[in-house]
Amino acid sequence: MTHSQSIPPLVPAATPQWSAQDSASLYGVGDWGADYFNVDDAGRLRVQVPGQEISVPIVDLVEAMQLRGLEMPVVLRIENLLDHRISEINTAFQRAIDSSGYNNHYRGVFPIKVNQQCHVIEEIADFGQRYHHGLEAGSKAELIIAMSQLRDYDSLIICNGYKDREFVELGLYARQIGIQCFFVLETRSELDIVIECSKRLGIDPLIGTRIRLASMVEGHWNEDSGDRSIFGLSTDSLISVIETLKQHEMLHCLQLLHCHLGSQIPNIRNIRSGVLEACRFYAGMVAEGAPMGFLDVGGGLAVDYQGLRSNETHSMNYGLDEYCINIIETLQESLDAEGIPHPVLVSESGRALVAYSSMLLFNVLDVRDHRPGQLPATLDDDAHDLIVNLHSVLDNVHVDNLQECYNDAIYYRDELREMFHRGMASLRERALAENYALGIFERVAALLPEARRVSPELSDLPVMLADIYYGNFSLFQSLPDIWAIDQLFPIMPIHRLDEKPERQAVIADITCDCDGKIDRFSYLGDTHSTLPLHPLVESSEYYLGVFLVGAYQETLGDLHNLFGDTTVVSVHIEPDGSFEFVREFHGDSIADVLSYVEYEPKNVLEQFRKVAERAVRDGRINVEERQNMLRAFRDSLNGYTYFER
Ligand SMILES: *Cc1c(COP(=O)(O)O)cnc(C)c1O
């Protein structure tokens, strides 16, 4: 993984005019946003429905939420974008099939684990029906979701993961109803359960095998592939599966081969070599007499979070069409050579299907900057010697003596701190010394871009001086991958983009945890430790958005500091540019999160009532005060866990 951290680029030099389009290029909207986002001349980020020439400013959606009592932070889903992704993936495979003369069709399945939220799955099942897009289940709970949601019998249900008797029986009932539900064997021992259950119930199963490929992939999830992968059958176990099926006269049930190289595969060459190896297994299974007919290439289609079009971990060096053509052509070339009929191609793209449709929106509650306080123009005659020295250093900062001034500032400031410890400098003198040091750092930092040589110490200065923007969200709840795996997501303001973002910032959440911060950002083609943002304006909100968060973030999140689920809003944009709030879910209340950790909110209230009642008896508060307190306590229990204005 690359952790390049360079000096924050100065936002293109102080041009008197800064246009909204300058912001669009700074934040890379056109690079990571596919065609789903753009910036208008009024400086608002708009979400755009491709092919329909309609778009809506995201701040308008925020305003509409406020009118409906939906508070920040909010996960906003744009249904049109999810629909568009489903269409894109299905039509791209269809184009590849048509252009190469591949002799079978494509069937997508969405892995439920990537976003299990009910309305996401309902939308995929509903809109996806026109493409027979199915679902992938990795547990009993997910199979239950899949069986209840799919109504189209041309769609597939693919069951991965370890399966017990109950799991297998559920899947067999799906078979009996007419659903094409495949059991993909992850281990040899699952086969005995499948055989036993299907004989007992008299239902023929559809069986697939997940194979362990030797092909390795780059990127973060490379452990899903290769010899040491914990998933899939070894070649020897595969032979044993085939033998056992033959013994039970069930080889006709073996119809699918499954491989999953890993998630977010940035390099197309890895995909091609993995699929090639899978084809060899497929051909081998056909030669063993299995009917086959389905080849499932798993997930792995990446999302270009950085918009770099490169093989960096959070990027990808290929496009959707290239992905589809590579897979289709590899299958075709390799199977034609053996005279094997083309299978139905199945893929399990999760990330690439849902990432775009969701964004996390939050307001900024406060900013802590490191700007020096007021510095006197001239010093009193009795000023402390060290302060006199600091004052003259500040006056002398020049592009040729940056390091020297920096060293002096630290030296004199620390000397004064030392005097303060020993009672030889006052509180006010210490404050003044700290201010001078900051003033010097600020001047040094401003001249760094002009300096010929910059020491590592000095190049860290802009980060040290960066503002801290406190965002009303919990990283652990809403963006767990930033914390867990250093994921990069596009982050930017959703308004004021016609103003130049003059501040350099890191973003802290409200969990009071030192890990609850964002200090790696991707823009202008590189990774930076700070993000250019606008100064807050008195009495008006400043909104930031984190984009492409539809995959994996929502259910991996945890209750750190008891910040609960955020409010979720699903919006559908209509052809006339108006919008409808199709779904809204209020986030967890404090009572909700307390009950998750086994408190009974009623008892909590009752205990507090007793405390308040005792205070009345002891004469510390009167009855009316008791009532007000209880009301506030009850309101808080029912309120949002996040900061409310
Ligand atoms: C997680 C997973 C997927 C989804 O992968 P994406 O990279 O999100 O498309 C698909 N198949 C299996 C077996 C998985 O475990």
For position 12, what pLDDT does the model report? 46
Q: Is 301 in the pocket of ligand 1 (CB under 6 A)?
A: yes
Q: Are strands 543-546 and 358-368 parallel, antiparallel or unpaired?
A: antiparallel
Q: How far is the CA of 263 from the centre of ligand 1 (A)?
A: 6
Q: How far is the CA of 348 from the centre of ligand 1 (A)?
A: 6
In 369-479, where do the E strands start and end? 467-471
Q: Is 298 in the pocket of ligand 1 (CB under 6 A)?
A: yes
For ligand 1, atom 3: residue with the closest CA: 299
Residue 283's CB is within 10 A of a number of other CB atoms, namely: 18
Q: Is 28 in the pocket of ligand 1 (CB under 6 A)?
A: no
If you count them, how many residues does the chain have?
A: 645
Mean pLDDT in each 10-residue stretch from start to end of the chain (645 residues)?
Answer: 42 67 97 95 96 93 94 96 97 98 98 94 96 97 95 94 94 95 94 97 97 78 62 92 97 97 92 95 97 97 95 94 97 96 98 97 94 87 94 95 96 97 95 95 93 90 91 93 92 97 94 88 93 94 97 82 91 95 93 92 95 96 96 94 89
Q: Is 349 in the pocket of ligand 1 (CB under 6 A)?
A: yes
Q: Is 208 in the pocket of ligand 1 (CB under 6 A)?
A: no
In whole angstroms, what is the distance from residue 391 CA to residue 432 CA? 10
- Among the residues of 15-57, which ranges form H helices? 20-27, 29-32
Residue whose CB lies within 8 A of the most ligand 1 atoms, among 163, 260, 297, 327, for a mutation test: 260
CA nearest neighbour of 184 among 166, 165, 210: 210
Q: Are strands 254-258 and 206-210 parallel, antiparallel or unpaired?
A: parallel
Q: How far is the CA of 354 from the centre of ligand 1 (A)?
A: 12
- What are the helix and strand counts (H, E) for the chain? 23, 23
In whole angstroms, what is the distance from residue 611 CA to residue 607 CA? 6
In whole angstroms, what is the distance from residue 420 CA to residue 412 CA? 12
In whole angstroms, what is the distance from residue 153 CA to residue 181 CA? 10
For position 555, what pLDDT does the model report? 73
For position 453, what pLDDT does the model report? 87
Q: Is 471 in the pocket of ligand 1 (CB under 6 A)?
A: no
Type of residue at 15: T
Q: Which residues contact 485 (CB under 8 A, 6 or more apart)?
A: 220
Q: Is 23 in the pocket of ligand 1 (CB under 6 A)?
A: no
Index of the ligand 1 atom closest to the CA of residue 302: 7
Residue whose CB lies within 8 A of the most ligand 1 atoms, among 114, 157, 220, 346, for a mutation test: 114
Q: How far is the CA of 309 from the centre of ligand 1 (A)?
A: 21
For position 371, what pLDDT does the model report? 85
For ligand 1, atom 10: residue with the closest CA: 299
Question: pTM above 0.85?
Answer: yes
Residue whose CB lies within 8 A of the most ligand 1 atoms, among 159, 229, 263, for a mutation test: 263
**Which DSSP helix (H) or strand (E) runs through 475?**
helix 475-478
Active site residue 159: no
For ligand 1, atom 14: residue with the closest CA: 299
In whole angstroms, what is the distance from residue 310 CA to residue 304 CA? 9
DSSP, collapsed to helix, strand or coil, labels residue 388 as helix
CA nearest neighbour of 152 among 128, 173, 176, 172: 128
Q: Is 59 in the pocket of ligand 1 (CB under 6 A)?
A: no
For position 632, what pLDDT does the model report? 95
Annotate 518-538 with DSSP letters as a single string: E--EEETTEEES-EEEPPP-T
Q: How far is the CA of 264 from the centre of ligand 1 (A)?
A: 9
For ligand 1, atom 2: residue with the closest CA: 299
Query: What values do phi and psi take at 640, rounded to 5?
Result: -70, 150
CA nearest neighbour of 583 among 136, 129, 82, 134: 82
**Which DSSP helix (H) or strand (E) runs through 583?**
strand 579-585
In whole angstroms, what is the distance from residue 568 CA to residue 552 CA? 15
Index of the ligand 1 atom closest to the CA of residue 114: 8
Q: How far is the CA of 210 from the centre of ligand 1 (A)?
A: 13
Q: Which of 118, 324, 512, 514 is catalytic?
A: 512
CA nearest neighbour of 133 among 343, 321, 348: 348
CB distance 534 to 503 below 8 Å: yes
Q: Is 262 in the pocket of ligand 1 (CB under 6 A)?
A: no
